[in-house]
Amino acid sequence: MGDTRKNPEEPSFDERLDRAQKKADDKPSFENAEDKSGSPMGIAFKMGIELVVGSGVGAFIGFWFDRWFDTKPVFLIVLLILGFASGIRNVIREANKMQDDNAD
How many other β-carbons are positioned within 10 Å of the β-carbon of residue 18? Answer: 12
Q: Which residue has the higher pLDDT, 7 or 77?
A: 77
CA distance 22 to 14: 12
What separation in angstroms does the CA of 13 have from each of 4, 21, 49?
A: 10, 12, 47
**Per-residue confidence at 39, pLDDT binned at 50, 70, 90?**
confident
Helix segments in the chain, DSSP class H = 13-26, 40-69, 74-103
* Model confidence pTM above 0.85: no
Instruction: Note the pLDDT of residue 37.
Output: 64
Estimate the share of the chain in helix, then strand, then coil, as percent rounded to the nearest 5: 75, 0, 25
Q: Which residue has the higher pLDDT, 10 or 19?
A: 19
Domains of the chain, by residue range, sit at: 36-103
Distance of CA 64 to the CA centre of its chain: 28
